[in-house]
Structure formats: C-alpha cells, structure tokens
Amino acid sequence: MIKSMGRAEKLFDAGVMVVLTIVTALILLPMWYVVVTSVTPFEVFAKTNGTLWLNPAKITLEGYRQLLQAGQLPHAFLISVYITVVGTALNLVVTVLMAYPLAQKRFALRTPLLLLVLFTLLFNGGLVPTYLVHVGPNKFASRRPTPCPDTST
C-alpha cells in the first residue's frame, strides 16, 4: 500500500529539488559558456568582453577547423592515451604487489609498511615543492621572514 506524502515531506522534496536545480545550473552554465565561446569568433568575443551567455552573436566553426588542420590534435591524443594506459598498468602492478603482502598477517614488515603508506597518504609529495614555490629556493640564505614569494625574477 502506498502512503501519501505529508506536508513536511512535500516541503523537503521541494527543497531538495531547488538545491539540485541550483547545483545543476552551477555545473551546466560553465559548460555552456565554453561551448558558446568556442563557436564565437574571437573578434566578437573580444568586442563583448566575454559576456555572451545565452546566445552567441555569430556562430562559426573556424576555431575547430584550425584545430583539426594543425595536425597536433591526434599526436596529443595519442600521448594522453599512452600516459593513461601506462600509468594505469603501473599503478595496478604496484598496488597489487604492495597490497598482497600487506594483507598477510604473518608478514614481518606489515606494520612499518602500513605506517609508511599511511604517512604518504596524509602528507603528499607536494608539500616541499609547494613550500619552495611560495618561499623560493634562494630564501634559505636569509634569516628574515618572507611573507610573499619573490616575483622579481
């Protein structure tokens, strides 16, 4: 037997619909903007300061024609496929080779390796490079603090 919805359930469903509509708009509007700017000539886009949202003033596929005629797109695509396939294969091999021994209770190095894996999950390898980008590699010679990176070089 189907029970009819009460007032509170209807209000909740309406609220969920409003939130989902807003989230959908926040996802689709940037995609629509990319599509509109990709089919608009650069002169029109520059003249309107990128404010073409609903309908493009003039539609042309010249940008796509130039992109396909340049001949670099298939090469870039093959590089992307190669990196994806090789990276996935290497990741799978390393994960399996690490996961199987760590699943064995009698493995002697289980706890230290699990702690090492946990440490690398919590503190990624980008911590030191990010610090060097913000502070700069030449700032270690000075003892004074530098709140901003040196942008003069």
For residue 40, count other CB atoms closer than 10 A to its CB: 20
In a domain, 78, yes or no: no
- DSSP-derived letter for residue 139 is G
For tokens 């070089």, name the residue: 153
In a domain, 45, yes or no: yes
In a domain, 34, yes or no: yes
pLDDT digits (tens, 9 = 90+) for 1-59: 567 788 899 999 999 999 999 999 999 999 988 888 888 887 877 787 767 666 777 78
In a domain, 23, yes or no: yes
The total domain count for the chain is: 1
Task: Provide the pLDDT for residue 82.
Answer: 94
In a domain, 58, yes or no: yes
Q: Containing domain of residue 48, as a range? A: 8-70
118's CB contacts (< 8 A; 6+ apart) are none
In a domain, 20, yes or no: yes
In a domain, 52, yes or no: yes
pLDDT digits (tens, 9 = 90+) for 55-99: 777 788 888 888 888 888 888 889 999 999 999 999 999 999 999
> In this structure, are residues 108 and 100 in contact, taking their beta carbons and an 8 Å threshold?
no
In a domain, 130, yes or no: no
Q: Is the pTM of this model over 0.75?
A: no
